[in-house]
Amino acid sequence: MQKPPTGRGKAPLHEVAGPVKAPIVVFAHIPLWAVYPQWGWGTEDSAQALSYLKRFGSVTVLNGHIHQLVQKVEGNMTFHTAMSTAFPQPAPGSAPSPGPMVVPADQLRSKLGLSTVTVMQGNKPLAFVDKTLAG
């Protein structure tokens, strides 16, 4: 018995090319746009995956991995990354490499946070609220 394809690959990418009339929300761990490829903050096949989604009226891509807020709007696509709940990372290119940042204990809660996404009824954009653990 052959195992179904997993992870990133041609078969899963091809499947997202099917017809869909509703707005699409994509959850990904690694950003599907090149935030900072030198640190692995993007995927090699993201351009191909996004090309399948461009024909839809509204696409929202949510991800983590980089442990900080970065937002981008490109055409009909909105990209939103989330803060970390574990450890902060440096801004892209501001350190020799990604990895946990050491911050004073009294500042840590201001560097960590949660994102809430609310779906509004009707033809309205998603509502994002990002809040640090400091409040």
CA 77 to the chain's CA centroid: 12
Q: How many whole angstroms separate alpha carbon 95 and alpha carbon 83? A: 18
pLDDT score at 4: 45
pTM equals 0.78
Residue 44 falls inside a structural domain = yes
Mean of the pLDDT values across residues 18-29? 77
**Is 11 inside any structural domain?**
no
> What's the confidence (pLDDT) of residue 19?
55
Number of separate domains in the chain: 1
Query: What beta strand segments (E) does 33-112 contain?
Result: 59-63, 71-74, 77-81
Closest CA to 114 of 61, 40, 64, 71: 64
Whether 74 is covered by a domain: the verdict is yes
Q: How far is CA 118 from the centre of its chain?
A: 16
**Cα distance between residue 1 and residue 126, in whole Å:** 42
pLDDT at 5: 46
Question: For the chain, what percent of residues have pLDDT higher than 90?
Answer: 53
